[in-house]
Amino acid sequence: MARSRAVVVATVLAAAPVLVAGLLGWWFGEQRRAATATYRVIEVIDGDTIVVARDGRTDTVRILGVDTPETKHPTKGVECFGPEASAYTTRRLLGARVRLEDDVVHRDVYGRRLSYVYVDGRSFDDELVRRGFARFLVIQPNVRHARDLLRSELDARRHHRGLWGAC
């Protein structure tokens, strides 16, 4: 009896590292797949809000780190450079494959997904700010790319790009 118990314990102890390694491999694989998953942009709501689709499901995404002038706000109306920002986002993203990067908080109070957006391997958030289509905006506690986006806004302001020259 003691001998068979010892065999069971030895077998369990020998199998445990294999099981743990397998689970870790699966988990890291899932993390990598999530980090490299791409979505198709099927609608542009305005300069900083898009609708994406993947595997037959859609999601509205509020682009993190940026705030474009309004085009459809019920009380603010159309703001200076809003139509240009919305048109740029439409030209650049509609129909494109994008990668989404989440930060600390994944959804806003409206249920929209909060994500940084990458197109052609580059940060679209930074592109909007750098070209003057958007202001830098922090939606706390999502601050992963705040310094880079702030630098881009300061550069756009200094060179009077986009809204910084028109408004």
Our answer to whether residue 70 is catalytic in this structure is: yes
Q: Which of 112, 113, 135, 161 is catalytic?
A: 112
Q: Which of 62, 130, 135, 161 is catalytic?
A: 62
Q: Which of 32, 54, 57, 70 is catalytic?
A: 70
**Rounded CA separation 66/47 (Å):** 9
**Rounded CA separation 53/97 (Å):** 10
Q: Which has the closest alpha carbon to 95: 133, 134, 57, 39? A: 39
Q: Which string of DSSP letters, residue by residue, matches 101-157?
A: EEEEEEE-TTS-EEEEEEETTEEHHHHHHHTTSSEE--BTTB-TTHHHHHHHHHHHH
**Rounded CA separation 63/58 (Å):** 15
- Residues catalogued as catalytic: 62, 70, 112
